[in-house]
Every structure is written in C-alpha cells, then in structure tokens.
A and B are shown apart, each in its own frame.
Chain A
Amino acid sequence: MPGEAELIMFAIRSAIKLGQQSREAYVDATRRRELVLPLPNFPTAITVDSAGGYFIGEGMRFVKRPSRLAELVDKWKARTALAPAEIEELRGFRCECFVQDLTEAGLPVTAADASTFDPDDLKALLAVRQWGRGTDPTPSALQRVGGTLIEIGVDYLATVPGALNANSTVGKLAQAALTGLEPLKFSEIPITELPARLFVATLETVSSQPALLTGDPKVQELVKVTAKGLAQDVGARIDAMRARGDSDSSREERVAEWGELVFRSILATGGRMVLEDPKTFLGIKPAGEAALVSEVGKGVLGLILDEPDGDLSRVFSREGVDVVMKAALTTVAKHPEILVGKKDQGLRALLVSVAGELGRYDTLLTPAMLPEVTRLILEKTGENLEQLWPEMAKKPENHLLLTAAQTSLAILTKAPPAGARWKPSFGREDLLAVTGTVFDELAKNPAWLVAAAGNSDTSLKVALQAALDVLRRRGTSQLSVGTATEILQSSIRAVALRSEFLEKMPAGGPLPGQPILAAALDATLKTIFEPPGARAAWRLARTDAVVGVVQIGLGELARQGASPQRVATLDTFLHDQAAGIEAGKTWDLDTFATGLRTALGG
C-alpha cells in the first residue's frame, strides 16, 4: 500500500484537476441554463368583439343574408348595443362556425373559450435553452469531469502499484463506474467530487475483493447500476436540500461521503451475494425501474440521512453500514417483493421508520446499537415476512418488530425510578440481547405482542416492565447487568409460552394487581437476594445459580401453568431450599429442578 503522504499528494492533485473541471462544468451549465420566458401582455379573453370581428373578416362566408346571424353581426358592426342574450347568441355562432375552420386546418376541434394547460406543459413551451438541440458547442459535464476522472484513475494507479489496463478487469470496472455516473446532473451540482469518490471507491474496493476480479460481466453491471442509483439519489438529496434552503457545502459534502460509503459497502459486502443471485438483484423487471441492489443502497442511505429530527450519520460507522447492507440484501433476496412496486414503500419506508423510531436510543452509552437492531429486524423479517410485516404494502411503518423494538428499548433505557435498589443501566449488548429474544419469540408467535394485556398496554410492554420493576426493587449490587439481562430474556420466553403469566394476582396475596410473572420473579429474587444467612447467600447469589433458579422457576410454571397458587408454592419451595442450604444441606440446580417439579404437582 502507498504511504499516507503519497495518498494525500494524490488527493491534492486529483482535487485540483477535478475542481478546475467542475468549475468549468458549472459555468457551462449556467451559460446553457434554461430561462422561463414571460410573454408580453395581450388580451386573453374571447369577447363578443372576437365574434363580431370574425364574422366581418375570416368568418364572413358563414354570414348568409337574411339570417339571424347577419342581423346580429350588423348590429355589432354598427356599435348598436347588444342585449346579453344576443351577445351569448353571437358568441355561440362564433364557436359553431370556427369549429369548421379548425377541422379544415386539421386542428383538434375545440373552439370553446376555455383553454387549460398543465403547468409542466406550459413550462416546456416557454422554457428556452441557450442552444438548440445538438448545437451546444460546450463539452458535456460528463465529458469534462469524466476526462478528469480518467486522469485521476491513472494517477491513482500510478500511486498504487498495479497499472491500469483498459482491457483488464479493473479497467472494465472503472468504465462501468463511469457509465453508471452518466445520468448524474453534474451541471446542477457545483461540488462534484462525488464521481471521483465513487470512481476511486470502485478501484479500491475491487482491488481488495478478489471475488470481484473474476472478469464476470455481472460485476460491471453491479458497479454500473449501483453507481448510477446512488449518484441519482445523492443528486436528488442535494437538490432537495437546496430547495428547502438548508444546504451548504459541508452538508452536501457529507451526503456525498455517505453515498460513497454505501457504495463501497454494496461492492464489498453485497458483491458476492449479488453475483450469486444476479437475476434478483440486477434484473430490472418493470420498465424504467432501477435494479434491486441499487434500491437497497438507496434505502440504507435513507436510513442514515432521512431521520426527521436530524440525520443519523453520527451513529453509523463503515461497519454499521455493512451490517445493515448485508441484512437488507439477504432479506431482499428472500423477498424481492419488498422492493417491487412503489419504491418509497417497503424497505425504504421501513428503514426510514426504524431511523425515526429507534434513532434516539443510539446514545453515547449504547453506541452503534441502531445498525444491529436494524440488522435484527431485517433478518427476522426475511424469516417470517407475512406475519411480522402484514401491512407492508399499505402501511409499511406498521412492522411488528419495529413496534417491539421501540417498546423494549423505551422500557430498558428509562432511568431507574426513585427508590430503586438496583440502578445500573443496560449497555448496548444487553439491549441487543433482550431485543433479540423479543424478536425470536415474536417470530415464533407474532400474535402475543399485539394482544392486549389488562389495560391497553401490549403483552410485551406489561411483561418487560413487570420484570424490570422486580429487578429494580429486589436486585442488589451482586446482580450484574448481564445476569439481569438473562432474567429479562427468561421472562420474555416464559410469557411467550404462557399468556397466564400476564394475569393479575388476586387481592389479599402478595403483589395484588401485578402480573403473575412479577409475583413469580419477586418470590425468586427475594429468596436469592434476601437469604436467611451467609451460606445461602454464598450459594444462591452466584451468577449461574441466579440465572438457573429463575429459568427453572419460570420454566416449570410455564410447563405446568402459571397461577397464583403455584406462585405461592414456588415461594414456599424457594424459602425451604434457602433454609436447607443455610442448614448445610447439599444443593444443586438439578435437584432444585426435580424438587420444584414435584412440588408444583408435575
């Protein structure tokens, strides 16, 4: 690899060349820019005078004498006032006769006063270019910038060992990148380093990806369609930013940077997948629509940049983009219908919703979480599309996993309540573990998430909140965040198996009105963290014991049925077990499990 100094020198040389040519292209575009031209003033209305003038001029042949028409025309010509009905009559004659003139001239037969134009048609009529078609003497923007790009490519390959041969695989790929960039409106983008970025990215990525250097024409197609799709998307984003008036060079630069990163990611991460399934990813089914791979790229770019309250580029690294890209391509390979039809729905809408709903949970304390949650959502979606995304076509934002992730993260990232005994926060890995478990259970049984439990809250929300409340109340400094995470996962699995866990405890007993899940966990954690003595504390507070006891306890209740009575039995059994340990009896998880099953009546 070249040294950093060489690379920087290369960048400077390239930028100067490109900058000069970009400016020239910008000036060319300004010189040739269309002007919409206003017409001078003229009477637009068709009046009775129009009718009268017609019948003493071009329409004279229609005026037979004597006739009603001749009578009206004579009155008008002599400036005798016409009654309103006579005016309408004369205007009617005009329409009737003029239709014949138009028919003879081969024009569409409408002689009515009304004329309507579509604004776009009108603009096409009165927007005038500097030169006629094919007579513009200035080189096109692509010619200007493209020539420089080739120079940059040559310079790059002089800097990086391995000369570029036009007939080599790398040479062909470079050409594919240029072809893909052709539709980009260089003329409308003053900062046009994006083509250079994509060009250099092509050379760098394919050089480091042997799979892309096989000479397969599909790789060229991949480079071409991806460069084209992303270049258009980046151009459209910059246009939109300018139209909104919130554009500046650094913002535009940033959009271009992310465009490049997504491009690199598609080539590096998705290249192999695309090549294995070119029909899906590169096939263009409806006329005029882009290849799916390019749509996936645009969708991922939208995920990063389209969050309504500010873009999410802060939470994405190159690795994060790769993670999401791979998951998106995998899902699309399984379900191409996600991208068929309107491109602003399906995948792109889902990713925008993910950014909007979950972006705020990616914080300094839980960095790089969003790409992973997005990956999880996409992967699980591919496994069970119909169940998890039932309204994909009509309401793509209604995605069960997105709802579940939002619910889970909202609960788990909430600050501990005042008076909580256990206060640690969940980290990125913990949040991902719980969210992953929620997704797993949802994929097996999508109905339980949306089923209401008690009040209007969903089952997931009730279960997770109840479990966390017990942890906050009963946990001590001995409870690690990792162990708490496993307890939450066990709770979710138990509730997914048995909906009775969400039924409320009766009045008069422990935790009245709380879900049975809360009572079961409370009984378990109370015994573990408030044991009768030091021996029991030593034995039960071990991580493996805490997790084991919770899993076995909830598992047995799920197996035999969760009820207030069984929770009471569990409580008594746990109490006896702790007392036994304290008294010096031997204890292990296997005997605990066997004993509990018997105690619960299994």
Chain B
Amino acid sequence: MADARIGRRRLGAVLALVVTATLVVGCASVNRLREAQESFNQAATLENELRFDAALQEGSMQGQLTQNTTIQNGYASALLSLDKIEAKDVERLKQDRLWGNVLALKALAQWKLGLLDRARDTAREVQQVGADQVLPRDRALLLALPGLIKTDEAFAALQRVPAEPTPEQRASTLKNVQLLVADAADAIDRGRGAVDAAHPVHVYLIQAKLAAFRNLQSAHERLGDGDARTLPREQRLEVQRQLKELKCQAERLSLKPEIVNYWANRFTLAPEPGAC
C-alpha cells in the first residue's frame, strides 16, 4: 500500500514536471499576448463604463477618457507586452496562427494611445502576412481601424471649434467633419463586409459607425446654417438603417435592447420600421 502511494506520488510529480516543462518552453510568447489581451480588456472595459455613464457630463467625461491614467496605462501596458515579443518568437506565433491577433491588438492599442501613424502602419502590415494568419474578428477590426481613427479625428475637430466661431470656421470645420465621417463610414463598412452577417463584431462596428454619424450630426447642428443645422435626410435614413440593424443584431444575440434606445436617443431618431 505504501509503495503504491509512493508510486502514485512520483507518477503525479513526473506528470506535473513534464507538463510544466512543455508549457514553459512553448508558452512565453503566448503569455505575452495574453497579458496584452488582459490589459487591453481591462482598459477598454473601464473606458466603456465611463463613456456610457450617464452621470457624467460630456465635457468632463471626454476629459476623463483621454486623461484617465488607469485607462491609458492599460493600453500602454498592452502595447508594452506586445513589444516585448522577441523577433525569434514571431515565427512561433505565426505557426500558432496568433500573429494576426498580435497585430490587431497592437494596432488597437496604438490607436487608443494616439499613435495614429503607427496604428495605420500596423494595420497595413497585416496585408503582408498570410491570409490564414488574420482571423475573422481581427480582419474586420483592422479593415475598420482607419475609420475608427477618422471618427476620433472628426471628434477632435469639433472639440477645437471655439465658443464663438466665425462663419468661415464653421463652414470649414463642417466640411472637414463631413469628409472624415464619409471616409470613416467607408472603412467601417469594409470591415463589416469582411465577416459573415452573423458575426458578433457587427454589433461593435455598427456602433462605431453610429459614433461617426453622431459626430456628423453634432457638426451640422452646431456649425450648419438654416436648414443645414440638422443631419441631411440621406444620412438620417442611414442612421435609421443602422439603428434597425443594431436592434436586429441585439435580438439575435440576446443582448439588452437598451443599447438601441441609447443610440436612438443620441440621434433623436427611431430605427427604420419593419421586421428584422
């Protein structure tokens, strides 16, 4: 009996040792990626909570998002973990078909840290790796990323408008925002077109597109003249279509319907009528 016990203990010890050794040898770069995922997710969760927190006024909320050190540190930490991946590990990550994950996450972290040129370069780098490396969600995000960046640029342009702008300032900023949002919508549509209609990334990309249009709406209301102080009819219809799509996706994925209400309220526009 005692021998059997000793045998079992040794068996367990050997089992653990070999498994541990196998994992330690092969997992360092994967662990870097997981660390980065964890940091990014934590930062993004906090950012989303702050953004959707109705108790915060817009001015202070936006300030909090860009100045919140916890959020920024989270994104920076994610980028740092990815930067620590050594050149010799890249091949292993490619063999594991994780290189696309690395590039997508890196581009997103760079975007959130305001390293926009680097984010675009990283997104472009994806075109040089094999198609098998970039998986559906990441492919959609990398294609849409230029649109996310342009949406931020449109928002920044609106933030720069002085309290009492001249007619020229109003006209030029409105034009600028219109171009940025048009480009953003195109890029986001490209991202959406890269995945099948049932992919959950649509919920995010629809909201990203609504965010772009919300900037355009705000630009019209603040900077337009006369009848142009509202979102043009064509764009209103597009927003309503997006709201309906969001509603249908939410129903399909059993998500809370309040999200549709949230966006409808931002625009003061109801979703396009009709069944999903």
Which residues of A pack against B, CB within 8 Å?
Answer: 1, 4, 7-8, 10-12, 14-16, 18-20, 22-23, 26-27, 30-31, 33-47, 49-54, 56-59, 76-77, 94, 98, 101-102, 104-105, 107-108, 110-119, 121-133, 135, 190-193, 196-197, 200, 204, 249, 253, 256-257, 260, 318
Contacts and interface: CB of A to CB of B under 8 A. Distances in A.
Given A113-B265, A130-B136, A39 B11 contact: no
B220 A41 contact: no
Given A126-B48, A128-B204, A37 B112 contact: no
Interface bracket on B: 35 or more
B22 A107 contact: no
Given A15-B17, A40-B211, A53-B230, A4 B3 contact: yes
Contacts of B73: none
A118 B11 CA distance: 48
Given A8-B14, A43-B214, A26 B23 contact: yes
Contacts of A27: 30, 96, 98
20 contacts: A18-B19, A19-B19, A23-B23, A36-B40, A41-B155, A41-B215, A49-B221, A50-B221, A54-B268, A56-B229, A58-B268, A107-B257, A107-B264, A115-B52, A121-B255, A122-B49, A122-B52, A129-B200, A130-B138, A190-B31
A39 B17 contact: no
Contact of A43 (B54, B58, B260): B58
A124 to B, nearest CB: 6
A20 B7 contact: no
Contacts of A4: 3, 6-7, 10
Nearest to B203: A125
B129 interface: no
B40 A107 contact: no
Contact of B10 (A7, A43, A77, A133): A7
B6 to A, nearest CB: 7
* Residue of B16, B196, B229 ringed by the most chain A CB atoms within 10 A: B16
Contacts of B227: 56
B23 A19 contact: yes
A522 B117 CA distance: 90
A36 B18 contact: no
Contact of A119 (B31, B49, B196): B49
A49 B273 contact: no
A11 B14 contact: yes
Given A23-B27, A40-B212, A44-B266, A113 B48 contact: no
A35 B152 CA distance: 20
B75 to A, nearest CB: 9
B215 A42 contact: yes
B262 A123 contact: no
B268 A128 contact: no
B270 A101 contact: yes
B51 A1 contact: no
B20 interface: yes
Contacts of B61: 44
Contact of B204 (A22, A37, A132, A190): A37
Given A27-B98, A41-B152, A121 B265 contact: no
A386 B111 CA distance: 63
B98 A130 contact: no
Contact of B33 (A30, A44, A76): A30
A36 B215 contact: no
A41 B7 contact: no
B270 A119 contact: no
B45 A36 contact: yes
Interface in B241-265: 247, 255-262, 264-265
Contacts of B226: 77
A19 B22 contact: yes
B44 A7 contact: no
B23 A22 contact: yes
Interface of B: 3-8, 10-12, 14-24, 26-27, 30-31, 33-34, 37, 40-41, 43-45, 47-49, 51-54, 57-58, 61-62, 65, 96-98, 101, 105, 108, 112, 135-138, 141, 148-149, 151-152, 155-156, 158, 184, 195-196, 198-201, 203-204, 207-208, 210-212, 214-215, 217-218, 220-222, 226-227, 229-231, 233, 236, 247, 255-262, 264-266, 268-271, 273
B226 to A, nearest CB: 7
B218 A43 contact: yes
B145 to A, nearest CB: 10
B166 to A, nearest CB: 13
Nearest to B16: A253
Nearest to A24: B96
Contacts of A37: 44, 108, 141, 204
B22 A16 contact: yes
Q: Lowest 7 CB-CB distances: which A-B pairs, in order?
A: A19-B22, A15-B18, A57-B230, A45-B58, A105-B270, A40-B151, A42-B211
A105 B268 contact: no
Contacts of A31: 96-98, 101, 135
A341 B200 CA distance: 37
Contact of B135 (A8, A38, A131): A131
Contact of B207 (A39, A116, A133): A39
* Residue of B19, B23, B196 ringed by the most chain A CB atoms within 10 A: B19
Contact of B229 (A77, A110, A257): A77
Nearest to B4: A1
* Residue of B40, B207, B258, B262 ringed by the most chain A CB atoms within 10 A: B258
A70 to B, nearest CB: 15
Given A31-B97, A41-B215, 20 more contacts: A12-B18, A22-B19, A23-B23, A23-B26, A31-B98, A31-B101, A41-B155, A43-B58, A49-B229, A52-B221, A53-B217, A105-B264, A107-B260, A122-B49, A128-B201, A131-B199, A135-B196, A135-B198, A191-B19, A249-B20
* Residue of A8, A57, A123 ringed by the most chain B CB atoms within 10 A: A57
A376 to B, nearest CB: 26
B198 A22 contact: no
A56 B228 CA distance: 9
B91 to A, nearest CB: 14
Nearest to B14: A11
Nearest to B112: A38
A133 B198 contact: yes
A56 B230 contact: yes
Contacts of A39: 48, 51, 204, 207-208, 211
Nearest to A117: B52
A256 to B, nearest CB: 8
A116 B54 contact: yes
A104 B274 CA distance: 11
A31 B138 CA distance: 10
Contacts of B149: 40
A76 B229 CA distance: 10
A43 B215 contact: yes
Contacts of B112: 38
Contacts of B101: 30-31, 130
Contacts of B265: 46, 98, 110-113, 115
Nearest to A55: B230
A128 B253 CA distance: 12
A131 B264 contact: no
A108 B257 contact: yes
A134 B108 CA distance: 26
Contacts of B212: 40, 42
Contact of B155 (A11, A22, A40, A257): A40
Contacts of B57: 45
* Residue of A4, A43, A102, A118 ringed by the most chain B CB atoms within 10 A: A43
A97 B80 CA distance: 50
Contacts of A133: 198, 200
Contacts of A42: 151, 155, 210-212, 214-215, 218, 266
